[in-house]
Amino acid sequence: MPAYAIAATIAAVVSAGATIYGSKQAADAQEEQNEIQNAQQQINDVSSARRKVKEARVARARLMQSSEAMGTSGSSGESGGLSSLNTQLSGNLATMTGQANTANALSAVRQDLADSQLITNSIGAVAGVAQSIFTQKAAKVKEVDVDIFDTPKSSDQRNKGFGII
């Protein structure tokens, strides 16, 4: 094998290795980013849930104080108002949970995409090495003319058969 062919093969292998390594690093970084985003989302969710619960408690206390001041404590109006506050709080918490689940699902999809890109880049790098090797081997193959009976002919015999010479 000529020196240039060996050098080209080595370069292709090194390039493939670098591509695979870089793709793996990118996938790992993407996974770490997703983990950080998920942790931040959980912190935000807890903080938001606490804020919603606090707001609901304040609203409940105001409703009860107002009801007490008006002399309607224990009335159906007070009960209805408290039920409404509880329903609103439950709805807000459910919405937050849904948003968190959606964010986690998107994060997982992004990670799957990064993993797929890693696999694709790795296959492409290996294919590039194989192509380099096959191209070098193909350049060495000599053309051989064969008739239907697999009997080699020289170019003079072949050309005379078609009346070219």
pLDDT tens readout for residues 16-52? 888 888 888 888 888 888 888 888 888 888 888 888 8
The DSSP 8-state label assigned to residue 141 in this structure reads: P
Confidence of residue 145 (pLDDT cuts 50, 70, 90): very low
Calculate the average pLDDT of the chain.
78
The Cα-based distances of 29 to 21, 123, 131 in angstroms read: 12, 20, 30
pLDDT tens for each residue of 59-97: 888 888 888 888 877 788 888 888 888 888 888 888 888
Cβ pair 20, 128 in contact under 8 A: no
Q: Give, for 58, the enclosing helix (H) or strand (E).
A: helix 3-70
Structure token pair of residue 107 = 């994060």
Q: What is the pLDDT of residue 143?
A: 45
Return the C-alpha torsion angle 97, 55, 59, 84, nearest 10: -10
The CA distance from 136 to 130, in Å, is 10
